[in-house]
Structure formats: structure tokens, C-alpha cells
Chains A and B, each alone.
Chain A
Amino acid sequence: MNEAPLDLSDAELADLYDRYAHVIFHRARRILRNDEDAHDVVQETFARVIRNAETFRKQSSPLTWMYAIATNYSLNQLRNRKGRKQKLEDRGQELVPHQGVAEAFEDHQRLLDLLEGADDETRACVVHTYFDECTRQETAELVGLSVPTVRKRVNTFLERARRELGAALVLLLALSSLPLWSAS
């Protein structure tokens, strides 16, 4: 029996890039709202494909594997952005309840700011649940947690969001299901 080589050839990598890179880019840009950062996510995701070629080859859904990689890297990008914590504090003081839909939606950054204060698993759960609109089962598989744990993590995050940001954040999350959210 011939076994696939551990390393990916340039031709294989090119095929994967053609098939998946724009999908990863589109998703990363929706999360990060920044083209440069989204390009960086693509590069890092494919770098990890190379580094984990043996594991990658075993995946029944390469995209699902890349989703998980790209999510964590994107969230780490957010964490590394400077001044974010202070910005959150400043914004928290500016928030007013019942603000308009457009204003809430435009301040997508507010959700990302809140995510930075959460642990890695919670952040991934929230991103998959609200950005990717995954079911809890899909989120559980992506993050490697049980469905009840996913539910708890998301609920805990929402409780914190309500305390810190009130109605504006709830509105913002609710808007994640609108078509506008996916436009980029």
C-alpha cells in the first residue's frame, strides 16, 4: 500500500490554496474587519497546514480544521492589538441603551473587545455561534467541547456582555443573523 508523503508538495499546496484561501480570507475579514490582518490569517493557516501536514491529511473536512486554526489565530490577533482594553473601557462609558440599529451594528468592534476579555474556549464558542452561525453541535465539534459546555460558555459570555454593555451588545449580537453581517 502506498502511503502519502508527510510533506505537502507545492502542487498540493497550490490546489489547497486555490480551494480554501479565499474562504479563510473572507471569514477572517468578517471577524477582524481588516484586510491586512485577514491576509495574515490566511498565510498563518496555510503555514500550519504545512507544519501539521500529517494531521491535516487525515481530516475528513480540511475546511473545518482550517476554521479552528483560523479562529484561534484571528482571536489572538485581536488580543494582540494594542490599546484594546483601554478602548473598551472608554466605549463602555459612552454606551447608551436603546441606541439605533445602525449605530450598534457599526460598532461591531464592541463585540470583539468583549471577546478579548474571555478565555480562549469561550471566545471560540462565541465566534462559531454568532459569526459562523454554527449550531451548538457544530461548535462543539470545532472547539472540542461537549454541547452542554458550549451552551454554558456562550451563556456565561452573554451574561457578562449584558452586565458590561447592556442592551446595545444584545442588539449587536442579534444583528449577526442579518445579511448585512456577512457583507464585506
Chain B
Amino acid sequence: MNLPVNEGQHPSRLELDRLHTGELTDAEAEALRARVGDREQAHLDAVEAARGQVRPFDAAAIRARASSSVEAPPATPEPANRPIWIWVAPVLLAAAVLVAFLMPRPEGTGVHAPQDPSAPDIRFRGGDVQLFIADRGTLIPWEGEALGEGDVVGFRVDATDHDQVVLLSIDGEGHVSVLWPEGDALYEPLRGEGQVPLPGTLTLDDAPGPETFLAVYDTPAPDAVARARHVHAREGGEGLLRWADAEDLVDAVQVERLTDDAGTLDP
């Protein structure tokens, strides 16, 4: 059963409201007006009618509110430390990272900061895996920079409607590593809603890039590994991202890797 989603067949209310407020260029406004039918005009009329219903402007009241409002920081789920893969992160750093994760963060410091459009516009290719990098004992959102051997990273994955996850690393040569779960377990259990941190941190080795981190939900680790290998063998790292785009049970983030000869020019 499909629900109607606006694929561009009609103007959105945002577009109409931008037309109403005069935010569009003349050319944009003219093009949009050509698409305004009865339904769109009804919306524009209703918005104009609301002009008489909104409360009169009161600068003092708004300024008083601006100076008194305090917003609660977003909730931060709590991780636990656990060594896996080539875990060489010092205990003290891990502890600091844990504390950093547990500390309430001011609004807008998350990877996706929907509550504050002024936050940096950080995009993760392919889906919802959120990558954080340790910086002086604190995990901060990764901003797309290339990562090198010894960088310590943490992850958040989407727990909404997922019970388990397998987090894989696929390096530029197609080598697949299971990062979560540890050992022979089939899954890493997920609890909570939204983006939740995976326990512990990971110290990167000198794997060739680009390195793709895949979160495969509700799929046993051996199956996830087999599918990732298959996709990479067929379509490479870009194929992994396309897989994540196409599959609801797969999310991905891809990072470039620093190498010893990084920055040199090919002859």
C-alpha cells in the first residue's frame, strides 16, 4: 500500500509559503504561480487569512522570552567500553570517551542537528551510520575528513524498529571485518529508539581506503558478511553505498583513508 508522497507533482506548502512571503526570485515565483491551482490557492488564502489572527507584535515580550528560554539538551544514550578487532585505545582515552558520551551535549552538536539549522551540515553517504572521532578525549562528529591509522572512532546506528545490528568494515580491497558483534555472536543487540551508540570505540588500522562501514540490521553476521563481500566484488565501494540506499536494512558511511604517500602526485 503506497501513501501519497509529493514527488514534485505539485508545489509543497513550503514552496507556497515562500511564494507568499516573497522569498522567491521573480522567475521562481512566476514558475510557481503557473502551478497554482484551486488547492494551492486555498492554502495561500488560508495563510493570508491567518495574518489577522496572529497576535500583535510585542518586541519586549519576544526579547524577554529570548533571554529567558533555556532548552534542554538532547538525550544521549550511554555506551559501555569493550575491546574488539584491533582495540588498542588506551583505557584512559576510552574512559574519557565514555564520559564524553554520557555528558549532555548542547543542542546542535549532534551529527544530525534537526533542532538547530545553524549546526554544521554534515552528510553521511548512504544512510544512517553516524561516525564520531576521538579528539583530545572527546568523541566529536566526524566531518568527512580522511582518517588514518591510530584514529579512534565510535559509531551510532539506527535502533528504530531494529533489534540487532552487525557493523562491518569493508576496506578498499574488499576485506570484510566484523566490528560488532564481538566473537562468534550473530548480532549486536540494540536497545532504545533513534540513533544509539555502539559500545566502545575502535582504533583504525592501516587498511586501504576508501573504507566503508556498514550497519546491517536484523541479519546474522555470516549472512551480512557474505552479502557485503558479494556486493563489493561486483560493484566496489560505491556499490556498497548503493546497496545501503536501496535496502532498508542496510546503512553505510564511507571514509577516505590517509596513507603514507597521501598528498603525492601521480607522475
B115 near A63: Cβ-Cβ < 8 Å: no
Q: Please name all residues of chain B whose beta carbon is closer than 8 Å to the beta carbon of A17 when the two chains form the complex.
A: 57
Q: Please name all residues of chain A whose beta carbon is closer than 8 Å to the beta carbon of B38 when the two chains form the complex.
A: 179
Once bound together, how far apart are the Cα atoms of A39 and B1, in whole Å?
A: 37
B21 near A25: Cβ-Cβ < 8 Å: no
Return the CB mask of B116-135 against A: 1 if under 8 Å, else 0.
11110111111110000000
Return the CB mask of A114-148 against B: 1 if under 8 Å, else 0.
00001111101000111111111010001111101
Q: Please name all residues of chain B whose beta carbon is closer than 8 Å to the beta carbon of A162 when the two chains form the complex.
A: 1
Q: Please name all residues of chain A whose beta carbon is closer than 8 Å to the beta carbon of B3 when the two chains form the complex.
A: 130, 158, 170, 173-174
A148 near B126: Cβ-Cβ < 8 Å: yes
Give the Cβ gap from B48 to chain A, nearest Cβ, in Å: 8
B54 near A39: Cβ-Cβ < 8 Å: yes
A156 near B21: Cβ-Cβ < 8 Å: no
A133 near B13: Cβ-Cβ < 8 Å: yes
Which of B6, B54, B116, B195 is in CB contact (< 8 Å) with A22? Answer: B54
Please tell me if B136 contacts chain A, counting CB pairs below 8 Å.
no
Q: Please name all residues of chain A whose beta carbon is closer than 8 Å to the beta carbon of B65 when the two chains form the complex.
A: 43-44, 47
Give the Cβ gap from A59 to chain B, nearest Cβ, in Å: 8
Majority DSSP secondary structure for residues of A touching B? helix
Q: Please name all residues of chain A whose beta carbon is closer than 8 Å to the beta carbon of B117 when the two chains form the complex.
A: 55, 59, 64-65, 68-69, 144
Please tell me if B63 contacts chain A, counting CB pairs below 8 Å.
yes
B17 near A23: Cβ-Cβ < 8 Å: yes
Once bound together, how far apart are the Cα atoms of A68 and B125, in whole Å?
A: 22
Give the Cβ gap from A31 to chain B, nearest Cβ, in Å: 11
Q: Do A13 and B59 form a contact, CB below 8 Å, given A23-B50, A133-B13, A134-B14?
A: yes
Number of residues from B at the complex interface, CB < 8 A: 66
How many residue pairs link A and B with beta carbons under 8 A? The number is 187
Q: Please name all residues of chain B whose beta carbon is closer than 8 Å to the beta carbon of A91 when the two chains form the complex.
A: none
Interface residues on A, range: 35 or more
Once bound together, how far apart are the Cα atoms of A173 and B3, in whole Å?
A: 7
Give the Cβ gap from A149 to chain B, nearest Cβ, in Å: 5
Residue of A nearest to B241 (CB): A148
Please tell me if A104 contacts chain B, counting CB pairs below 8 Å.
no
Once bound together, how far apart are the Cα atoms of A120 and B147, in whole Å?
A: 30
Please tell me if B7 contacts chain A, counting CB pairs below 8 Å.
yes
Q: Please name all residues of chain A whose beta carbon is closer than 8 Å to the beta carbon of B7 when the two chains form the complex.
A: 135-136
Can you sample 17 A-B contacts with CB below 8 Å? A10-B59, A21-B57, A22-B50, A23-B21, A48-B66, A50-B63, A50-B66, A55-B117, A61-B18, A132-B12, A133-B10, A145-B114, A149-B128, A149-B251, A152-B127, A170-B3, A183-B42
The 8 A-B residue pairs with the shortest CB-CB distance in the complex, in nearest-first order:
A119-B194, A55-B118, A26-B50, A50-B66, A47-B66, A22-B51, A47-B65, A22-B50
